[in-house]
Amino acid sequence: MEEAKIFPNRELEEIFSKRVDSAVPDIGDTTLFRRIIEQIAAVNKELWIILTMVSIAGIMNYVVTSQYMILGFYTFPTIMSAYYYGRRHAVMTALLTLIIVGCMTYFKPTIFSGTTQLSLGYNTWYHVMAWGSTLLLTAYAMGSLYERHQQKTEELRETYYGIIMILRQFIAKDQYTENHCYRVSIYATKIASYMGLPQDFIEDIRAAALLHDIGKLEISRDILYKAAKLTKEEFNHMKRHVPKGELLLEPVRGPLSRILPIILAHHERWDGSGYMGLKGRDIVLGAWIVAVADVYDALVSDRPYKKGLPPL
């Protein structure tokens, strides 16, 4: 007995382990240009934030009378860095800030000693070092918090996709449906990435495409497998699998509640002549994407249906 695998084979696993971002297309020059700009912005975002804050603090050094207050401003880059980028970045930023402040103290010892009561007094170095260690501790603690949070989120995300994969195997009672769901999710994510949709949205569409036949769980397998012509009654039974999917997922909240409308409406037609008569923008965009992917796969692949049955 072969061990149970989420992925039927290695090639599929490779296809699926590739996230959509590797398949982001570059249609024409404008998109490419936009992507380059986005890349530069993404790489240097942190640097810009820190540089801006340090320079603001530096300028204020010469503007504000109470110089001691300025040390407070120098903590902001570290805190922001911990908030956005995690422990390593935060500690690095704290060290950098310390070096800058240290240099300033060294070259101009009076810089942090103002005329107000809050001034650092004679022992400037003592104060700067005390401030610096607090800053480092803050950076370490905040960064650790951030990283723990990230780890938990990642774990939850993996669990979510694992469960979708397992669920998909329950939905797909036969090899055809299983691979069909796979292919539809591949097509749907490709189309979605060509439409320039955000990554989260694409992930929702991928999940919806994998589960789009969920309602078939309660449908008699005989009908699905039946190669003979379906009677009207049987076809009606078949059509019912869409609302059944909705009932199954009704109590669900969170990401699955976003993919529910997609699953529900993927058999609708744009002009409103579908199962529920909804049309156009009444239906979430994801449903239209899954609809195209579903029909395309139904047309292209070999399936055990009566020849000539509309691929819906």
Partner 1 sequence: MSTMPLSVTVLTRKGSPPFEAKEFIEKGAGKEFDPKVVEAFLAAFRRGELDVPNVVV
Where does residue 265 rank: exposed (0-12), middle (13-18), buried (19+ CB within 10 A)? buried
Binding residues for partner 1 (CB under 8 A): 9, 11-12, 15, 23, 25, 27, 179, 182-183, 186-187, 190-192, 194-195, 225, 227, 269-271, 285, 288-289, 291-292, 295-296, 299-307, 309
Residue 26 Cβ, how far from partner 1 at the closest point, in Å? 10
Size of the chain in residues: 312
Nearer to partner 1, 251 or 308 (CB): 308
CB proximity list for 110: less than 8 A, separation 6 or greater: none
Residue 234 Cβ, how far from partner 1 at the closest point, in Å? 16
Nearer to partner 1, 198 or 254 (CB): 198
Its sign, for the CA torsion 271, 274, 278, 280, is: negative
Nearer to partner 1, 160 or 269 (CB): 269
In angstroms, the CA 55 to CA 70 distance is 12
Residue 194 Cβ, how far from partner 1 at the closest point, in Å? 4
Token digits of residue 287: 């449903």
Residue 179 Cβ, how far from partner 1 at the closest point, in Å? 6
Residue 24 Cβ, how far from partner 1 at the closest point, in Å? 11
Nearer to partner 1, 196 or 243 (CB): 196
Nearer to partner 1, 243 or 304 (CB): 304
What H or E segment, with its residue span, contains residue 285?
helix 285-300
Long-range CB contacts (within 8 A, 24+) of 74-78: 74/100, 74/101, 74/135, 75/135, 75/138, 77/49, 77/50, 77/53, 78/135, 78/138, 78/139
